[in-house]
Amino acid sequence: MEKNTILNLDKIYDAYMGKWGDEAKLKTNERINWIAENVVGCRVLDVGCSQGITSLLLARENKTVVGIDVVQESIDFANSILENEGENTKQNLNFECASILSFNSGERFDTIILGEILEHILYTEDIINKTMALLKKDGRVIVSIPFGISIYYDHKKTFYIGEILDAFRRNFSLVDIKYFGDWAGFCFDFCEQADPVDWIKVIKDLEKEIIKHESKLLGMVHEDRVAALEKENASLQLKLNGIKESRSYHFAMLISRTLHKNKHAE
């Protein structure tokens, strides 16, 4: 494994534990818990496990989990957390620094989690093909992605709902879609012939989320405008105070000179 030189900015364990504040904790917990609740079977592969929180939660629930990530720093952190766990959890969980494309296993998995992975990859089909090779015939894939445009430096693709559904539709049946504000989650079951998707429901749910995003953006624009006006007002107030001080100074000097002249005149 080549040393990964990309700075690891993904601190999912810290966010889950509340180190980034209550709001980040609530959002992260909702997303991670939804993923964990939708796992089926006993053997789980957590791809892009980062600091290992999802893998850890599943191992505590007696799942046999392998967590992989391409960033060695993340794997080291995950192992340091695992050291403080009970023996049963330690036996259930193994972390490995690897890409899914290079990862191999003697046994197939009941569930494979692709947690915020696809947006980092140029060739989505390669990931899906490798996922199918590692998945049991009746297995499940859980996918989470940033919902819409993201400015993260390492994102190579922007995914929308239709693209994810199209990428998995040939060999998977859609079980669920869940929206988490800035993220979206998908559950797919591996099958020979995919069930038809209820596109009306998908579109209606998507429209609701778009409305939420538009409202959020409008709120941000309003907040930015208010902030700009407040800044402009503060600047004008400083100038006004300067003018007032300048006038007071000149007026005081004028009175001083007048008094000085009157004193000499006496």
CA separation for the pair 84, 69 (Å, rounded): 20
Per-residue model confidence (pLDDT) at position 34: 95
Mean pLDDT of the residues in the chain: 80
Are residues 171 and 235 located together in one domain of the fold?
A: no
Domain housing 250: 198-266
pLDDT of 247 over the 60 cut:
no
Domain end, chosen from 161, 180, 196, is at 196
Query: Do 99 and 49 fall into the same domain?
Result: yes
Predicted confidence at residue 11, as pLDDT, reads 82
Confidence (pTM): 0.72
**119-138 pLDDT tens trace:** 777 788 899 999 999 999 99
**Domain identity same for 114 and 30:** yes
Contact residues for 215 (Cβ-Cβ < 8 A; gap 6+) = none
CA angle 10, 188, 193 (to 5 degrees): 150
CB atoms inside a 10 Å sphere around CB 184? 22
Question: Could you report the per-residue pLDDT of 172-215, keeping only the tens digit for each?
Answer: 988 998 988 778 899 999 987 666 666 657 766 766 776 666 66
- Residue 116 inside a domain? The answer is yes
Residue 240: what are its φ and ψ, rounded to 5°?
-65, -45
Look at residue 3 and tell me whether its pLDDT is greater than 50. no
Same domain, 232 and 191: no
Report in angstroms the alpha-carbon separations of 257 from 128, 247, 249, 265.
88, 15, 12, 12
Cβ–Cβ under 8 Å, residues 97 and 1: yes
Work out how many domains the chain is built from and give that number.
2
Residue 5 lies inside a defined structural domain of this protein: no
Q: Are residues 170 and 53 in the same domain?
A: yes
The whole-number pLDDT of residue 236 equals 61
pLDDT at 4: 40
Residues 125 and 37 in one domain: yes
Choose one of 196, 225, 247: the last residue of a domain.
196
Whether 3 is covered by a domain: the verdict is no
Does 103 lie in the same domain as 214? no
Would you state the pLDDT for residue 260? 58
Instruction: Look at residue 33 in the predicted model and tell me its pLDDT.
Output: 95
